[in-house]
């Protein structure tokens, strides 16, 4: 789609939508959970564009023309950051050079956890100092009750790199940070602040929506803890190491991951190590994901009586929109509880 045609369509839409929509900023979000948070803050004012559809893996993705056009038309862009979608960095610089861009992993108050690169996750500690928090004040007055959240030891053993035959070139921190409801609350504030700066006439709505959404996250956190309480202490394996923010938030640590955080296909040595962990620790559940090859999980399960389940950190079967974020977290808890 050409730039001139895009501008023409945008102008036509503004005229059809009426004057109330004329000054609402064009907003783009990278993945469905981020899009959901932005949608919730913009509720009643406008709708953001989603760049990466829920069924696609964000680690590697090629923009379709419609998605490139949405990025090009945007006034504001919200994304996790280059550690999750390194390919998107160039796209933003090229297509959205004039947009206000917010990398949510860099927002003050965001809790970041280091990558776990070992095949197996060792004993979890209370070494909260290892978790990097940009700012002790999360920018909102709610106490989400996770001060005792465990940080996970992570193994930087060179063998973990050797098993995969290359350096994945990721940054220092695991980018799957949206799976922490505390981070979600922090980001709601940041989203509301950016939208309010771009659109002062609707600042009251943005801030009220963000406040309501934070209360909803508090209620959801209580609900998820109740779902998980009966299965705490049981051992499970995840497909790829995307869930430590969820594990930390709710005190339910995984025993290992079939693939590392960037979802690279596991080596035979890694699969063998996971198979041994399944037997040694009496792992009762091995969890797959809809975006990845089920044959890999079948190989890990060979000879095991562990149950299987499906975790979906992106909401691939959910309708994008303001309700998706909470549904993703709730569905993770239900899937874990059912499998365990």
Q: For 273-286, what is each residue's pLDDT tens digit?
A: 778 877 877 788 88
Please state, as a whole number, how many other Cβ atoms lie within 10 Å of the Cβ of residue 285: 23
- Residues in CB range of 243: below 8 A, 6 or more apart: 176, 179, 254, 311, 313, 332
- The enclosing H or E element of 226 equals helix 203-228
Residue 235's pLDDT is 87
Residue 117's pLDDT is 65
Torsions phi, psi of 315, nearest 5? Answer: 75, 50
Residue 118's pLDDT is 63
Residue 177's pLDDT is 98
Cβ atoms of residues 336 and 286 within 8 Å: no
Sign of the four-CA dihedral 262, 228, 331, 27: negative
Is 111-171+232-339 in the same CATH topology as 3-104+183-218?
yes
- The enclosing H or E element of 251 equals none
CATH class entry, domain 111-171+232-339: alpha beta
Residue 57's pLDDT is 83
Locate the domains of the chain by residue range: 3-104+183-218, 111-171+232-339
Residue 155's pLDDT is 37
Strand partners, 112: 132
Overall pTM surpassing 0.85 (yes/no):
no
Q: For domain 3-104+183-218, give the CATH superfamily.
A: Nitrogenase molybdenum iron protein domain (3.40.50.1980)
Could you tell me the mean pLDDT of each successive run of 10 residues in the chain, 340 residues long? Answer: 39 39 86 98 98 87 93 97 93 95 98 79 44 44 38 36 37 90 98 98 98 98 98 87 94 83 70 80 82 73 81 93 98 95
């Amino acid at each position: 789609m050409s730039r001139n045609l895009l501008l023409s369509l945008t102008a036509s839409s503004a005229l059809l939508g009426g004057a109330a929509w004329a000054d609402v900023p064009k907003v783009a979000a990278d993945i469905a959970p981020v899009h959901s948070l932005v949608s919730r803050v913009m509720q009643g004012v406008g709708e953001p564009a989603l760049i990466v559809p829920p069924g696609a893996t964000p680690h590697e993705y090629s923009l379709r023309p419609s998605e490139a056009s949405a990025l090009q038309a945007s006034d504001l862009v919200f994304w996790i950051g280059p550690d999750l979608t390194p390919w998107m960095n160039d796209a933003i610089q090229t297509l959205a050079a004039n947009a206000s861009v917010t990398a949510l992993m860099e927002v003050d108050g965001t809790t970041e956890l280091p990558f776990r690169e070992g095949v197996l996750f060792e004993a979890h500690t209370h070494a909260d100092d290892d978790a990097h928090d940009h700012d002790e004040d999360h920018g909102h007055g709610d106490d989400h009750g996770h001060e005792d959240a465990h940080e996970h030891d992570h193994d930087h053993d060179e063998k973990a790199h050797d098993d995969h035959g290359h350096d994945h070139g990721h940054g220092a921190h695991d980018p799957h940070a949206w799976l922490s409801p505390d981070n979600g609350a922090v980001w709601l504030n940041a989203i509301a602040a950016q939208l309010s700066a771009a659109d002062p006439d609707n600042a009251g709505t943005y801030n009220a929506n963000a406040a309501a959404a934070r209360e909803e996250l508090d209620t959801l956190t209580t609900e998820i803890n109740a779902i998980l309480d009966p299965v705490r202490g049981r051992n499970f394996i995840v497909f790829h190491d995307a869930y430590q923010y969820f594990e930390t938030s709710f005190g339910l640590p995984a025993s290992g991951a079939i693939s590392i955080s960037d979802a690279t296909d596991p080596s035979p040595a890694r699969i063998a190590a996971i198979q041994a962990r399944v037997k040694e620790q009496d792992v009762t559940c091995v969890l797959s994901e809809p975006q990845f090859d089920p044959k890999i999980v079948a190989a890990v399960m060979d000879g095991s009586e562990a149950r299987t389940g499906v975790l979906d950190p992106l909401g691939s079967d959910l309708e994008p929109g303001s309700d998706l974020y909470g549904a993703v977290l709730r569905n993770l808890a239900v899937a874990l509880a059912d499998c365990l």
